[in-house]
Structure 1
Amino acid sequence: MDIGQKIRDLRIQKNLTQEELGERTDLSKGYISQLEHDQSSPSMETFFDLLNVLGQTPAQFFTETPNQQLVYTKADQVVYEDQERGYNLRWLVPESNENEMEPVMIQFDHAGEFKTFEPSPAETFVYVVSGRVQLALGDQCYVAKKGETIYFHATQQHKIINVAKTTSEILLVATASYL
């Protein structure tokens, strides 16, 4: 285990500069840099102070993280079909509803429509892969066709509808448990 690299990674995850971490632990920016580059080793007291600021216990710090899956194949994807509303939804990343972003592909039949969503703090990005879709956002309607995007804050009731004469497909990425 590279202790200096792990300290650096945790500092970056906490959005701290070396100077800010130094201020919170009464250490100099230069000393933090030396620790991160394995040019110096902290005393036990200093190490525990660093872990406290970085929000880690010693057990958490020294536990090896299993390799995360970064590439997802078609076999990893989960498909849901709603024949009544005329769409197929494909989760591109399994269990993505537990993450900050949730990417899905939605294929609409002619006149298919995704369910109506109530207002939320989510942000939503839609890329139209094929066809033409309409976003009903509050009292307003917006149309995007193949190659165009829609980006909105979901602060009003909203729904996506296929307005093409054929099928349409979109890539939708939403934040904070949108689906």
Structure 2
Amino acid sequence: MEIGNKIKELRIGKGLTQEELADRAELSKGFISQIERDLTSPSIATLVDILQCLGTDLKDFFNDTADEQVVFHDADYFEKTDPELLNKIEWIIPNAQKNIMEPIRLTLKPGGSTYPDNPHEGEEFGYVLQGSITIHIGNKKYKAKKGESFYYIPSSKHYITASPKTGAIILWVSSPPSF
């Protein structure tokens, strides 16, 4: 592994010159320069000292795991359309079933519905982005419109229907994942 460039990036990121890093690590500027150009390799003890001066350690320095994706775009989404129920489900966080929460964007055409879901563990939250809906939980019905949210524990059969006039778009989060 070529560690020189990685050390150089850390040093520059900390706003240090080669000379300043060398002074802190009690090494020569020339030795730091040789390390950064991969002309020489430091001993483990020297590398530990350099990394300590750069605010990191061996474990983090050699950790090659990629950063987890934080921002997701339309191209990352997976969607499923149900022409019978007049809905489209978009999984807006790929592979969210491995997470604690699973958010989806649900688009219901006028009169559209979700499939009735049986009771299950967890909690469900939604925010109506557009239109209006009726949330059916057991024998009860709750209405919500644009700008309103809902939250419930799915201990009864439950589903959502959209207004026959407007349809709806909902941001819906289930924990644990169940969509």
Q: Same fold (TM over 0.5)?
A: yes
Shift of 1:163: 2.1
CA distance in 1, matches of 2:163, 2:97: 28
Shift of 1:64: 4.3
Consecutive unaligned residues of structure 1, counting only runs of 5 or more, are 1-37, 39-58
Counterparts of residues 153-168 of structure 1 (less than 5 Å): 153-168=153-168
SS state at 1:119 partner:
coil
Instruction: Tell me which structure has the larger Cα radius of gyration.
Output: 2
In structure 1, the residue matched to 2:82 is 82
Q: Say if 1:119 and 1:156, in contact at 8 Å, map to a contact too.
A: yes
In structure 2, the residue matched to 1:148 is 148
Q: Say if 2:80 and 2:90, in contact at 8 Å, map to a contact too.
A: yes
Letter in structure 1 aligned against 2:75: A
In structure 2, the residue matched to 1:109 is 109
SS state at 2:151 partner:
strand
Which digits, 9 at most, give the CA deviation of each residue in 1:65-89, with x for residues without a partner?
Answer: 3211111111101111000100011
Identity %: 30
CA distance in 2, matches of 1:138, 1:166: 24
Letter in structure 2 aligned against 1:96: A
Q: Say if 1:135 and 1:143, in contact at 8 Å, map to a contact too.
A: yes
CA distance in 2, matches of 1:67, 1:155: 37
Letter in structure 1 aligned against 2:117: F
Runs of 4 or more, structure 1, over 4 Å off, are none
Q: Say if 1:120 and 1:154, in contact at 8 Å, map to a contact too.
A: yes
CA distance in 2, matches of 1:64, 1:123: 36
SS state at 1:178 partner:
coil
Q: Say if 2:112 and 2:164, in contact at 8 Å, map to a contact too.
A: no
Residues 130 and 164 (structure 1 numbering): CA distance in 2 closer, same or farther, change over 3 Å? Answer: farther
CA RMSD of aligned residues (A): 2.4
Letter in structure 2 aligned against 1:145: K
Q: Say if 2:134 and 2:160, in contact at 8 Å, map to a contact too.
A: yes
* Equivalent residue pairs, number: 125
SS state at 1:131 partner:
strand
Which digits, 9 at most, give the CA deviation of each residue in 1:24-72, with x for residues without a partner?
Answer: xxxxxxxxxxxxxx8xxxxxxxxxxxxxxxxxxxx9xx85432111111
Counterparts of residues 16-95 of structure 1 (less than 5 Å): 64-95=64-95
SS state at 2:97 partner:
helix
Consecutive unaligned residues of structure 2, counting only runs of 5 or more, are 1-51, 53-58
Shift of 1:100: 0.8
CA distance in 2, matches of 1:121, 1:86: 27
